Each structure stands twice: as C-alpha cells, then as structure tokens.
Structure 1
Amino acid sequence: MSWVLGVDSGGSGLRFALGSTAPDGTAGVTTVAATASAEPLRTGPSGIDAGQLLARLLPAVDTLLAQAGVNTNTNTNTDMEAGSGPGVLSAVTIGAAGMATLGDGLRAELPAALAHSLGVRRLVLAADAVTAYAGALGQRPGAVVAAGTGMIALGTDLTGWRRADGWGHLLGDCGGGAWIGRAGLEAAMRAHDGRRGGSPALLSRMEEVFGPAPELPGLLYPRTDRPAVLASFAPEVARCAAGDPIAAGIVSTAARHIAEAAAAVCPPSGACEVALTGGLFGLGDPLLVPLRAELAGQLPHATTVSAAADPLGGALLIAGALAGDTLRLPHDARLLNVLTEQDG
C-alpha cells in the first residue's frame, strides 16, 4: 500500500486529504482521512506564499497520518531531515488557485522543502482548474467548467491542455459569480439613476443587502475581497430572474459566456464530455436551464456529465496516479508541473 496526499488551496482556505493506493495504481485512491485550515494563503511578490503553505501542510500531514494510524517509525528522523529517506508519502499533489500565474514561489521552494521535511520524491504542483478537471472526469478526454466567484474552462485530448478565461474579475471570468453580481448591481444603480436598462427589482434587493444605493461605491471599492463581495449578489440576481427580464437577461448572458468557454476548450474531434463543477451551479434552474440550451446549440456533439468528485478528490487522484506511474494527464510547466526525484 502507498500513502498519497492531496491539497486543495483556494479562497476559502486549505483542505488536505490522505489517501491509500495499491503500489501499481490500478485500484485507484481511497480517501482515509481529511482536515482543513480556514484561512486562505497569502500572496506576495513571488506569488503564493510557500512558507505559509509549508507551515500549515506539515502539521496537517502529522494529523492525517495519526488519524490513519500510520506507523512512521520505519523512517528515521535522520533520513527525513537529510532528505535522503523514502518518507511515508509516495506522492503529493498541491492544487492551488492562481498556480498558473502566481505559482513561481511554490515551484522554486516546495520540491526541496518537501524532500527535506517529508522525504517526498514525487510532487505535482497543479492549477486548481486541473485538480477540478481530474476530480470531475479523471484521466479521460473532455472539458470541465469550474465556476464559483470566477470562471475557467479547461479541456484536453490527453496530448495538451486548452484553457479559456479564468483571467480574473477585471479582465474576464465572464459568466462567473462576480460577473453576474457586478452586472446585477449595475442594473440596480441604473434603476436608481433612472437610466435605461435598470431593474427596480434588483435595486430593491441591493438596498436590502447593502444599504442605500449612493453608499455602495464607498462600501465596495476599498474592499480587498471585491470579487467575493460582487459574487455574493449573484444569488439575488438568480432569484429575481423568474419575474424580472433584466435579471433574466443577465443570467442568460452568463450562460452564453460559460458555454462559449466550454466550446473553446472541448477537444475538436469526436464526442466530448463536459462536466460542470463549482458553487455557481448551485444557483439552479435560473442558470442551468439557459446553460443547457446554450451548450446544446454551441456543442451539439457534447454530453454534459456530473462531476465525479471535487478538486480535493482530483488532487488525490493525480497523486495516486503519479505514485503508480499511471499519470496520463498532460504535463505542463504551469498547469500541471510534475517533479520527481530524477528532476534533481
């Protein structure tokens, strides 16, 4: 039996899971224990803070191994500190939001640090969209749309990755929660001003949630978590969609953007499975009904499927495949960076 670790880092904090797998990787990964840390990781000049991640990861590993009853005495402290022992963990996958653009610090510091502290010789640093893909579809071709506060689509034919959007709330994330919320608040402010395109229904909901309309800019603009604040209004837009044409139009446009992203990354040949994952799809029928129609129109050869597991499950799956030398998902320097002992 091999022990593997999956890590999921995002805006809501860190989640860790310990899994067991057969040495050849053929039996998949069984989750044995899990724990979490609620505070998100900091980012600095070199991106995601590697030191902070290590400070939380190492105690979490101890906790998980203790929960699983794993005997670590076969690995001496001398070997672990020298980084020369095999360690208890056969492979680790760390999936992080922003890995593609903010992961330089992790890529530079984590391999040596984990080899030194845990004896880890097989490590994957992956964008959270990749772990979402692996959780949803495993290692088969297809496309995944991951939508929550933001929105990104990722697809593969197993020879390379195709990415669409995920560029943040200022440059993209079109159709995501922050996008829907911002559009709803704009429609509310238009109604407050008496401009065309305004929605009295959304204005009423906005003032119930945030207070008087003239005070909204002062409440919103100084916030460092603006995308999350904007996304918090998306459920209000969805609730208003049933009786308000402006709100319904916003949600329908979001569905079109999401389908466009899926169409951009779906493998061009043959049938394509498309999985939808993330909290945004909890908005239910106001979003899902127009989205199904858009997917049918833009991707008539595709089949929408349910995600098999979440991104933490995807991180474990990747770690298990790496431990068993069965990882088929395409390696990529920024999206799925595989580091093994022979890499130095």
Structure 2
Amino acid sequence: MSGVLGVDSGGSGLRAVLAVKDGQDEDRATAPLKSGEPVRTGPRGIDAGHLVAQLVPMARQLMADAGIATLRTVTVGAAGYTSLGDSLRADLPSALARELGVRRLALAADGVTAYVGALGQQPGAVVAAGTGLIAIGTDLASWHRADGWGHLLGDNGSGAWIGRAGLDAALRAHDGRSGGSAPLLARGEAMFGPAGTWPGQLYPRTDRPAVLASFAPEVAACADGDPVAADILAEAARHIADAARAVCPTSGEVSGEVQVALTGGLFKMGDPLLVPLRAALTDRLPYARQVPAAGDPLAGAVRIAVDLAEDRLTLPREEDMLYVIGEPPALETTAPKTPTP
C-alpha cells in the first residue's frame, strides 16, 4: 500500500493528513496530526529545516498507523510561501526524498490550497480570511491574487482589520471624538482594561495581528444595536468583495460558470458579516455564483496530492504559487526545470 500526504503550515502550527486507498479504490483520509509550533521564518524565508523537523515524525507516525511504507506524493501548503518560499524550493525536495522517499512534491501558497479545498480544479475566486485575508482566483491558465499584505499594509476586511477598526471607534468614544462607539469602548475595557493602557499592551507584541483579531467578535456582537459596529462590518464586507472581484475570472461575465467561495475562521462571525458580504458580492460579481466552500486548506493540500499522484492535476504551475517537483513526462514542458531529487 502507498499513500499521499497533505500538509498545511500556518500561523497556529503544522497539520498533516495521510490519504490511502481503501478496498473500493477510494481515497480515505486519516485524522490529522498537528504540531503546536508554527514553522519559523529566517533570512531565506520559511525555514525548511524547521518544517522537516516537525513534519517527518508526524508523517512516519501516520504511515505506521496506516500500515504503508511509501508516499506517492506530498503537498505542502504554507502561509507566506509566495514571498518567503526560497528555502522550501531549494531544500525541501531533497530533504523529503532522503527522509521519506518522496519523489513527487507540490509546494503551494496557502491561498492555493485554500482555493482547491473550497472549489477544486475549476475557475473562480476564493477569499480566505481569518486574522489576515487573501483572495485567490484562476481561469485555469494563471493564478491571480489580491491583498494578503499583512495587517500594516493590507489584509483589509480581515479579523485584524475589523478588530483594529473596533478599537479605533472605542478610543474615539473615550476621547469624545466623532465616530465613537460607547458599546465598543465598554467591551474593549472589559477585554483589555482601561483604554489608556491599550497602546502599551498592543504595540510591543509580536502577535499584534492576533490580538487585534481577538476583538473582531466583539464588533460583531455589537452590530445589531450599534450603528458604528454595523458600519465597520459593512465596510469590511466591501473590502472582501473588492478583493474577490479583483481576482475573479472575467470570462464568467459571458459564461456565467465561475464560482466564488469563502473560507476561514472570519466567516464564523455569521450574519453580522455575512449578510452585508453577500450583498456586496452580488453587487460586485453579479455573474459569479456564490457557493459554500467544500473543504479547508488542509483538504485542498490532500486534493492536490491525490490529483498529482493520479496525473490529473491541471492547475497552473507558477513557482511562487504552485511549484511541482517530479512531474510526469507529459507535463514536464510546463513544469519548472528542476532536477528530480
């Protein structure tokens, strides 16, 4: 027996799932294993050595539990891969070949695995949002991305953005400026203490985006009775819809066949965000069909690994989005010319 491995590397750690064929030749996924430590970044970007140190024991345990000796393919989806993936591309293929015998490997941006988890291999757009936010789209010829620039330069409409806007409104109320929200001030002081202490608590922290995002549910909780909170979520919805429109294939204006999906923890806020967001998507993308995401980024990593193993992966190959090592001969003309480890 052999299997394929899907890996999701994000801000909360590393998750891995093994898929194996059952008696009916269907792919059956194991329960995921998770590390408690995010993969480090360094001068060369995402630290391939740190990822390997965490992943190899997890993979070996999954393989032993499933009774398999070899892996047909592995897909690693990583947060930050688009701009920080040099070390992974240079070092991960040989390391996984040496440690696990892997010969076919796909390295992907986490936005790509989120896309595939949500929509599979079809044209459309996916917005993946939690603490941060990125939109990914494809017409199956190339990838398109919007935002994902982090909480200082972008991630508009994300959890960190909503939380920061909520705290801004709270401080406006504290100061007596226009645009303030007394309900948000009360909730902010319940979470963080007196408003005057907030800068000292927030500015020095390395996990500042997550702390800001932790206040986003408080904004949603106030939205029903507080117009300031409702306006923050309505503006977030417009930002999210704008990102989706920026990456959605325009071919759908004629064919009407493209889909748009939302994935990530931000959308667990429910109606306070989703009602204005659905309206904004209908306004900006009237030709796209809004559908629920079929799965999460880890499911997308498994799907890519399965499709690669069975030579049916047709998604665009781009070094900083979806990079495949060990392509079958029929696809080598479109794959990066990197020697197989």
Q: Distance in 1 between matches of 2:171 and 2:62?
A: 49
Question: How far did 1:66 drift?
Answer: 1.5
Describe how 1:76-115 pairs up with structure 2 within 5 A: 88-115=70-97
Q: Distance in 2 between matches of 1:281 and 1:109?
A: 35
Partner of 1:312: 298
**AA matched with 2:20:** S
In structure 1, the gaps of 5 or more residues are: 73-87
**AA matched with 1:157:** D
Contact 1:29 1:316 in 2 (8 A): no
Partner of 2:288: 302
Contact 1:147 1:277 in 2 (8 A): yes
Question: How far did 1:37 drift?
Answer: 0.7
Question: How far did 1:34 drift?
Answer: 2.4
Question: How far did 1:2 drift?
Answer: 4.0
Tell me, what secondary structure is at the counterpart of 1:173? Answer: coil
Which TM-score applies when normalising by structure 1? 0.92
Partner of 1:343: 338
Which TM-score applies when normalising by structure 2? 0.93
Describe how 1:142-221 pairs up with structure 2 within 5 A: 142-221=124-203
Q: Distance in 1 between matches of 2:277 and 2:218?
A: 18
Tell me, what secondary structure is at the counterpart of 2:225? Answer: coil
Contact 1:145 1:154 in 2 (8 A): yes
Per-residue CA distance 1:18-50 (angstroms, 9 max, x = gap): 01259xxxx774213421112111111111111
Q: Distance in 1 between matches of 2:28 and 2:115?
A: 18
Tell me, what secondary structure is at the counterpart of 1:169? Answer: helix
Distance 1:212-1:33 versus aligned 2 partners, 3 A rule: closer
Q: Distance in 1 between matches of 2:211 and 2:64?
A: 38
In structure 2, the gaps of 5 or more residues are: 328-336
Q: Distance in 1 between matches of 2:134 and 2:5?
A: 25
Partner of 2:331: none
Q: Distance in 2 between matches of 1:162 and 1:2?
A: 34
Q: Distance in 1 between matches of 2:309 and 2:94?
A: 18
Q: Distance in 2 between matches of 1:63 and 1:267?
A: 41
Q: Distance in 2 between matches of 1:215 and 1:130?
A: 40
Q: Distance in 2 between matches of 1:128 and 1:288?
A: 23
Contact 1:13 1:39 in 2 (8 A): yes
**AA matched with 1:6:** G
Describe how 1:129-144 pairs up with structure 2 within 5 A: 129-144=111-126
**AA matched with 2:225:** G
Tell me, what secondary structure is at the counterpart of 2:152? Answer: coil
Q: Distance in 2 between matches of 1:136 and 1:48?
A: 25
**AA matched with 1:97:** A
Per-residue CA distance 1:239-297 (angstroms, 9 max, x = gap): 11111111110000000000011111111012220010000000000000000110111
| 1:281 correspondence with 2:263 | no
Distance 1:28-1:156 versus aligned 2 partners, 3 A rule: farther
Tell me, what secondary structure is at the counterpart of 1:290? Answer: helix
Q: Distance in 1 between matches of 2:324 and 2:228?
A: 46
- Percent identity for Structure 1 against Structure 2: 66
Question: How far did 1:343 drift?
Answer: 3.1
Tell me, what secondary structure is at the counterpart of 2:249? Answer: coil
Question: How far did 1:67 drift?
Answer: 1.4
**AA matched with 2:281:** L
**AA matched with 1:41:** V
Partner of 2:11: 11
